[in-house]
Amino acid sequence: MIVFKYLLYIMLMVFMISCKKPYNPPAITAPGSYLVVEGVINAGSDSTVIKLSKTVNLSGAVTTNPVLQASVTVESDQNISFPLTEAYKGNYVSAGLNLDNTRKYRVSIKTSDGKTYLSDFEPVINTPPIDSLNFKVQNSSIQVYVSTHDPGNNIKYYRWDYQEAWQFHAQYQSQYITNGTAIVPRTAAQSIYYCYGRDSSSTILIGSSAKLMKDVIYQNPLTQIASTSEKLELEYGMQVNQYALTGAAYNFWVNLKKNTEQLGSIFDAQPSQINGNIRCVTNPSEPVIGYISISTVGHKTVFISNAQLPQSWKPAYPYTSELDSALYCHYRDCQNDVVDFLIPLGSTEIPVSAITKGPGTIGYLASTQYCTDCTIRGIKTPPAFWK
Amino acid sequence: MFFIQISRAQQSTAKLISVNFQQATITQFISELESKSSYHFYYDRVQFDSLKITLQVNDKPIETILDLAFKNTDFYYAISQQQIFLTKGRQIKTELATGFLEVAPSEKEVKQTSAVADYTDEKDKKVPEATTENKLYEIGIKTNSIKQGNAILTGYIRDIKSGEAVVGASIFIASSKAGVATDKFGYFTITLPRGRHTLIIRGLGMRDTRRQILLYSDGKLNIEMQEQINSLREVKISADKVANVRSVELGVTRLDIKNIKQIPTAFGEADVLKVVLTLPGVTSVGEATTGFNVRGGSADENLILLDGATIYNPAHFFGFFAAFNPDIVKDIELYKSSIPEKYGGRLSSVLEITNREGNKKIFTGSAGLGLLTSRFNIEGPIIKDKTSFIFGARTTYSDWLLNLLPQAYKNSSASFSDFNLDISHQINDKNNLYLSTYLSNDKFRLNSDTTYSYSNKSVILKWKHNFNSKLYSVISGGMDRYQYDVSSTANPVNGFDLAFHINQTNLKADFNYYLNSKHTINFGLSSILYQNSPGTFEPNGSRSLVLPQVIATEQALESALYLGDKYDVNTNLSISAGIRYNIYNYLGPQTVDQYAPNLPKEAGNVLDSTTYKKGQFININQAPDIRISARYLLNDNLSVKAGYNTLHQYIHLLSNSTSISPTDVYKLSDPNIKPEYGDQVSLGFFQNAKANTIEMSVEGYYKRLRNYLDYKSGAVLLLNQHIERDVINTDGKAYGVEFLVKKTAGKLNGWLSYTYSRTFLKQNDPNAGELINNGNYYPANYDKPHSFNFTGNYKFTHRYSISLDIAYSTGRPITLPIAKYEYAGSERVFYSDRNVYRIPDYFRSDFSINIEGNHRVHQKTHNSWTIGVYNLTGRQNAYSTFFTEQSGVISGYKLSIFATPIPFINYNIRF
């Protein structure tokens, strides 16, 4: 009977979840490389960043192909233009534009190969503030939600992105450091125990109240964090940016999400063309990827400290290593492990604490860089939004 | 017994035998007789163990020996050709009692009737299980001399055991090529020269039989046939063997449920839709999909009829199971090319599923147990020999099993069920009533708080009336409904309830007029009233802020008049030609936008908007459909057939997913959505070999499709007030060649098919706003050039058989990404032109062993087991391949369904 039960179980697994395996298609190369335009014209006092890149081959190792030395301007329907300057790697930046919200604006791009691209004129939309940013504890994760509403009941379409940061510590707290000639106590400024990890949203986060009586977005999920994530070890912070969208812009994002994130079910929609609002004036048949909207941006931050979460949740360290002892005089042959392994600059073994015998130090407990140096995967300064 | 002797004596082939037994056991007695004659004995040894025979005779016929041997015992014998059946307590009748024939013809051997009555002492023996092959029936008004010319013979062919109509049985006389087949009521009409004939009757799954008639004038003859299944002889399925070569139709396949049950399926339960996929010219986009594609048509271009009721969603659980109870279904018939005039409204095919009639004589039933589903049916007479019912129910109990799944699936549930109740009633000789009802329900909730449910409901009443021997009519009326509902309360503010339904009310009158031996005329009219609610979206829960949204209901009337003639020009040439005139009215109440001509249908191009009152005709679409096919016999076993047909479709499934999804809705043609149109020309060669036990055919076709619906990028199909703004008209072409070899008799039977076919679509409407693949032809999702199928069953004994099923096809086309880029914090992909690439080829083999319980007639229950493995080689066939971002990086994945060998077991019991 147990076997029978097991058989049913296995069959159901097959039945319900089928089977998903990696798939490498035959080498496919695109007939060309197409311009990708990403960014929002910030109508308020914050800076505007437009990022230009080109598509790369699917099998290629390179993932980014920034477009350099282009000339990018924001233009109004009354021929007022605001130039953007190239800042870094295909990012074109302007300080706060403070646009007139009764006018329409577009982006004009002239690339170094002589092509001109124009986005459609779009209205300026005032983004309402975020009402709340909260989280719920679930079985073995937390879910972060955003809620907002438009008192005027006419925005209806929203997009969010976020930056997140979290404080974490290395496995072992190193109290000593080498100066190249000797092991000396580590100062507070030299501490590599506490760091901040940082990340930003990588999925398309959109919401619509078009089907509701009021323009209300209630608890739209943003991200889910597993209980074992290092993000929840000490303190987690998230800053969310909210952008109001037009219906057409919303459709672009829905379509992009469908085509690149929501595939793999039995009832997939067929991949379709991504129609943005940017066209190549020089060669109208050339596909251009991207949608430029104009809006103000709403911000809100939330902090979640470990104390707010269930006591039983423990983070899983990405690295684990034991503490080794390094002595000035090793028991057997009196080899000087401290000089050999810990003192050289750039050594991957880092002293953690001293081994003492009576009043003297006879060596150090040490561990790998991964388990002692938090800067390997974080930075020591908190992000700008950190409280 | 005397009468058997007489009939044997008539044949005067009796060999004389001499025997001498002293206290012989039955074994000794029979081996002696078998060695001295050409007879075979069948008996149950246990029943005869007390019998000792002492007998001495010289040069006597076997009947005399048996008479003497069993004198004063309760043992009986019955002789049928070369077989002798020995029984205890009751006698097997090898002939049909004349009294059972409702249209009793006058008989020469009247005395035999009473002789039969002497032995029908038990209740169920009132129906003699015998044939009357050796009797001569006189039909019509008896005259001294037989007149010259022809007369018409009509009647019903029924199953002797259940009284059920035998559909598609062929009746012909050996001396002529003229033959007819029974219709779905088992009714036939044949014109024969007056005089004496031997009628040969063959039916699918029935034992071949003969009737001797003396035809004086027009008359009736009802014939009963015996089922093949429990025969003690070698099982020989003599399907309508000659139909392959002699019928006028092309691209028509009929499969009996017995064939269907031999084919292994994923969960062990016979599946009437999966078997359709093994036929040439039929493909599907993947494993476990609801739809199937016939000769390049999309899944919504198939008309699926269950006893005349339209079934909109023929599958349970997203397409894993067919929504038809295999214990109720009698047979299926798929029309791919020669679609009869009486059918219309879909472009690609008609799949006719016929349920059994209930047993008119005794109560019987069956039950089946599978790992995930169970089914039950019961049938029997309400008024014996007049009224019967059949009830079937099927359900899944997978719901509790979901509790065994890991935490992540805990919130899942799935259930489905279906019910059939059919009643047939014979009012009198000329009038029959048939009532069929059907209900299917599906409900599932998978790992989310959203609940999906859908349901099919149908009821249909048919009245068959025979005016005279030449004309009969079938008038039917019914209602069909398909609905679904999606609801969620996971987020209290967004709690919603999305509902869709379509209703159709049908009225149909079909007439069949048998003009003379050369012309059979079909005519009739039909009307369907559609009431379609394309979608309502309503708040669910007290805190829900959902704005109620109702897409205006649509009404339309689809009517047709048809006339067709099957004309046998001479013995070699037959032509079937018909016309179906379609009239389609889109009805109010409705508000319809008028768009500026030659401009894209967009909000900005609306010229005017007209509101129509209830019942008002908004537009009328009229179009004739032509149906022609012809057959020419090159010789007795070889024919060539050609056909041409045109079709219109006024109802469209809005779906832009690869397979039909549970939230797809239907849309009726309106002034802005043109009806779909298709035509097809086909040519085929048909040959039978080895005494009609091997059927071969080659068929080629070319098909055009017009106004097939495709969608703009980012089209919204659900709850769209102006769907015409999101659809694009597409044209298509499909062509192919289908090869089929079928073996219908012997220990090994089955079929092998290979199809080469292509399907292309083209979207070059300049007003569409965008062009797919620059307006060039591109392969459709279900374009699979090479497709090979083998379905075979090998019977070792009457109790053990094995089945093997092999399927291979080219992978279906897909759109693959050709470039990647970074956007919104992640790598994303840019897609190629539509359907430029293909997923890997598909291959699957299934195996099953069928074990029948013993074949003893007098036991309370008969049981059988089916054990097998689906996807024997465990090949991980790609259902789809897709590229999706996972933590900011694009990766390719292959989704497979049933990716491991799946063992199954099924237990069936009949009572």
Residues on chain A touching B838 (C-beta within 8 angstroms): none
Instruction: Mark yes or no for CB contact A212/B879 under 8 Å.
Output: no
Q: How many CB atoms lie under 10 A from the CB of residue B786? A: 12
pLDDT at B350 over 90: yes
- Measure in Å the smallest separation between the Cα of A77 and chain B Cα atoms: 21
Q: Write the CATH number for B679.
A: 2.40.170.20
Domain count, chain B: 3
pLDDT at A100: 92
Residues on chain A touching B540 (C-beta within 8 angstroms): none
pLDDT at B109 over 70: no
**Quick check: B658 and A268 in contact, CB under 8 A?**
yes
Backbone dihedral angles phi then psi of residue B789, each to the nearest 5 degrees? -140, 135
Least confident range of A97-111, A132-146, A295-309, B13-27: B13-27
Stretch 298-337 of chain A: residues touching chain B, C-beta under 8 Å? none
Which one of B546, B820, B893 has the shortest CB-CB distance to A23?
A: B893
Domain limit, last residue, from B311, B335, B359: B335
First to last CA, chain A: 60
Share of chain A above pLDDT 70, in %: 93
What is the predicted ipTM? 0.86
Please report how the helices B62-69 and B26-36 are oriented relative to each other, as an axis angle in degrees rounded to 10: 170
Q: CB-hemisphere CA count at 13 Å for B143? A: 12
**Quick check: B153 and B220 in contact, CB under 8 A?**
yes
- Measure in Å the smallest separation between the Cα of A312 and chain B Cα atoms: 19
Residues on chain B touching A211 (C-beta within 8 angstroms): 496, 537, 546-547, 549, 719
Nearest to B338 by CA among B624, B568, B628: B628
Q: Name which residue leads in pLDDT, B460 or B169.
A: B460
**Quick check: B347 and B300 in contact, CB under 8 A?**
no
Note whether B406 and B504 are same-domain residues: yes
Backbone dihedral angles phi then psi of residue B356, each to the nearest 5 degrees? -70, 155
Structure-block tokens of residue B685: 């060669």
Note whether B353 and B327 are same-domain residues: no
Searching chain B, which residue's CA lies closest to the CA of residue A8?
A: B371
User: Does residue A212 sit at the B interface (CB-CB below 8 Å)?
Assistant: yes
Asked if residue A151 is part of any domain, the answer here is no
Q: Name which residue leads in pLDDT, A166 or B31.
A: A166
**Quick check: B5 and B62 in contact, CB under 8 A?**
no
Instruction: Mark yes or no for CB contact A16/B372 under 8 Å.
Output: no
- Tokens 């008309």 identify what position? B303
Which of B449, B713, B772 to mutate to test binding with chain A, by most A CBs within 10 Å of its CB?
A: B713
Q: What's B259's DSSP letter? A: H
Structure-block tokens of residue B496: 């919603």
Searching chain B, which residue's CA lies closest to the CA of residue A54?
A: B821
Q: State how far the Cα of A145 lies from the Cα of A330, in Å rounded to an integer.
A: 56
Section B292-299 average pLDDT: 91
pLDDT at A151 over 50: yes
pLDDT at B578: 95
C-alpha distance from residue B686 to each of A14, B245, B572, B632 (Å): 42, 5, 14, 10
Asked if residue A15 is part of any domain, the answer here is no
Least confident range of B6-20, B123-137, B190-204: B123-137
Asked if residue A61 is part of any domain, the answer here is yes
Quote the pTM value: 0.76
pLDDT at A1 over 80: no
Q: What's B893's DSSP letter? A: E
pLDDT at B271: 87
- Measure in Å the smallest separation between the Cα of B877 and chain A Cα atoms: 10
pLDDT at B126: 33
Least confident range of B101-115, B266-280, B436-450: B101-115
Average pLDDT, chain B: 83
Note whether B399 and B363 are same-domain residues: yes
Note whether B776 and B667 are same-domain residues: yes
Least confident range of A107-111, B206-210, B250-254, B342-346: B206-210
Q: State how far the Cα of B315 lies from the Cα of A267, in Å rounded to an integer.
A: 15
Asked if residue B264 is part of any domain, the answer here is yes
3-state secondary structure of B28: helix
Residues on chain A touching B876 (C-beta within 8 angstroms): 19, 21
- Measure in Å the smallest separation between the Cα of A24 and chain B Cα atoms: 6
Nearest to B679 by CA among B706, B710, B653: B706
Searching chain B, which residue's CA lies closest to the CA of residue A29?
A: B818
Q: Which residues contact B808 (CB under 8 A, 6 or more apart)?
A: B786, B787, B788, B789, B841, B842, B843
Searching chain B, which residue's CA lies closest to the CA of residue A139?
A: B407
pLDDT at B408: 54
Residues on chain B touching A23 (C-beta within 8 angstroms): 878, 881, 892-894
**Quick check: B321 and B269 in contact, CB under 8 A?**
yes
pLDDT at A54 over 90: yes
Stretch 49-78 of chain A: residues touching chain B, C-beta under 8 Å? 53-58, 60, 63-65
Note whether B309 and B353 are same-domain residues: no
Q: State how far the Cα of A53 lies from the Cα of B428, in Å rounded to an integer.
A: 83
Instruction: Mark yes or no for CB contact A28/B818 under 8 Å.
Output: yes
Residues on chain A touching B823 (C-beta within 8 angstroms): 36, 38, 256, 289-290
Asked if residue B165 is part of any domain, the answer here is no
Note whether B305 and B411 are same-domain residues: no
Asked if residue B185 is part of any domain, the answer here is no
pLDDT at A288 over 50: yes
Q: How would you label B40-57 residue by residue, b for 16+ Cβ within 10 Å and e otherwise?
A: ebebeeeebeebebeeeb
Least confident range of A205-209, B122-126, B214-218: B122-126
**Quick check: B891 and B820 in contact, CB under 8 A?**
no
User: Does residue A154 sit at the B interface (CB-CB below 8 Å)?
Assistant: no
Domain limit, last residue, from B75, B92, B109: B92
Q: CB-hemisphere CA count at 13 Å for B95? A: 25
Average pLDDT, chain A: 87
- Measure in Å the smallest separation between the Cα of B902 and chain A Cα atoms: 7
Q: What's B47's DSSP letter? A: G
Q: CB-hemisphere CA count at 13 Å for A128? A: 19
Q: Which residues contact B871 (CB under 8 A, 6 or more apart)?
A: B266, B844, B845, B846, B877, B898, B899, B900, B901, B902
Q: Which residues contact B269 (CB under 8 A, 6 or more apart)?
A: B321, B326, B368, B370, B373, B375, B906
Q: Which domain holds residue A119?
A: 34-125+245-294
Question: For residue range A317-363, what is the model confidence (pLDDT) as tens digits?
Answer: 777 778 888 888 877 778 888 888 888 888 888 999 998 888 888 88
Residues on chain B touching A14 (C-beta within 8 angstroms): 898-900, 902
In DSSP terms, which residues pair with B894 in a beta bridge? A21, B881
- Tokens 């096919």 identify what position? B629
Q: State how far the Cα of B500 lies from the Cα of B453, in Å rounded to an integer.
A: 11
**Quick check: B774 and B261 in contact, CB under 8 A?**
no
Note whether B289 and B354 are same-domain residues: no
Instruction: Mark yes or no for CB contact B895/A19 under 8 Å.
Output: yes
User: Does residue A162 sit at the B interface (CB-CB below 8 Å)?
Assistant: no
pLDDT at B644: 96
Helices (H), B271-406: 272-276, 398-401
Asked if residue A355 is part of any domain, the answer here is no
Structure-block tokens of residue B324: 């038809």
Question: For residue range B504-535, what is the model confidence (pLDDT) as tens digits?
Answer: 999 999 999 988 888 999 999 999 999 999 99
pLDDT at B153 over 90: no
Domain limit, last residue, from B277, B306, B335: B335
Amino acid at B494: N
Q: Which domain holds residue B284?
A: 253-335
Least confident range of B213-222, B294-303, B674-683, B801-810: B213-222
Q: Write the CATH number for B71.
A: 3.55.50.30
pLDDT at A12: 43
Asked if residue A223 is part of any domain, the answer here is no
Note whether B356 and B303 are same-domain residues: no
Q: State how far the Cα of A125 lies from the Cα of A120, in Å rounded to an integer.
A: 15
In DSSP terms, which residues pair with A147 in a beta bridge? A132
Nearest to B396 by CA among B363, B418, B374: B374
Asked if residue A340 is part of any domain, the answer here is no
- Measure in Å the smallest separation between the Cα of A369 and chain B Cα atoms: 26
Q: What's A375's DSSP letter? A: G
Q: State how far the Cα of B394 lies from the Cα of B420, in Å rounded to an integer.
A: 9
Domain count, chain A: 1
Question: For residue range B610-643, what is the model confidence (pLDDT) as tens digits?
Answer: 999 998 999 999 999 999 999 999 988 899 999 9
Which one of B825, B831, B897 has the shortest CB-CB distance to A202?
A: B825
pLDDT at B295: 92
Task: State chain B's maximal CA–CA distance in angstroms.
Answer: 107
Nearest to B579 by CA among B597, B564, B598: B564
Searching chain B, which residue's CA lies closest to the CA of residue A27?
A: B818
pLDDT at B896: 81
Q: State how far the Cα of B735 lies from the Cα of B820, in Å rounded to an integer.
A: 36
Q: State how far the Cα of A94 lies from the Cα of B851, in Å rounded to an integer.
A: 80
Note whether B850 and B759 are same-domain residues: yes
Asked if residue A52 is part of any domain, the answer here is yes
Cis ω on the peptide bond leading into residue B193 (within 30° of 0)?
Answer: no
Q: How many CB atoms lie under 10 A from the CB of residue B870? A: 21
User: Does residue A180 sit at the B interface (CB-CB below 8 Å)?
Assistant: no
Q: Name which residue leads in pLDDT, B231 or B445.
A: B445
Section A12-21 average pLDDT: 54
| Res. B841 pLDDT band, cuts 50 70 90 | very high
C-alpha distance from residue B115 to each of B1, B93, B109, B267 (Å): 8, 11, 10, 52
Q: State how far the Cα of B59 lies from the Cα of B71, in Å rounded to an integer.
A: 19
Cis ω on the peptide bond leading into residue B675 (within 30° of 0)?
Answer: no
pLDDT at B149 over 70: yes
Amino acid at B627: R
SS (H, E, C) B487-522: EECCCCCCCEEEEEEEEEEEEEEEEEEECCCCEEEE
Note whether B542 and B640 are same-domain residues: yes
pLDDT at B120: 33
- Measure in Å the smallest separation between the Cα of B351 and chain A Cα atoms: 24
Q: How many CB atoms lie under 10 A from the CB of residue A45? A: 11
Q: State how far the Cα of B50 lies from the Cα of B67, in Å rounded to an integer.
A: 18
Residues on chain A touching B400 (C-beta within 8 angstroms): none
Instruction: Mark yes or no for CB contact B547/A211 under 8 Å.
Output: yes
Note whether B445 and B327 are same-domain residues: no
Note whether B479 and B390 are same-domain residues: yes
pLDDT at B178: 63
- Measure in Å the smallest separation between the Cα of A281 and chain B Cα atoms: 17
Searching chain B, which residue's CA lies closest to the CA of residue A205?
A: B824
Which of B289, B821, B835, B907 to mutate to test binding with chain A, by most A CBs within 10 Å of its CB?
A: B821
Q: What's B799's DSSP letter? A: S
Instruction: Mark yes or no for CB contact B371/A20 under 8 Å.
Output: no
| Res. B431 pLDDT band, cuts 50 70 90 | very high
Residues on chain A touching B837 (C-beta within 8 angstroms): 25-26, 28
Ordered DSSP codes for A170-213: -SS---EEE-SSSEEEPPGGG--SEEEEEEE--S-EEEE-TTBS
Asked if residue A220 is part of any domain, the answer here is no
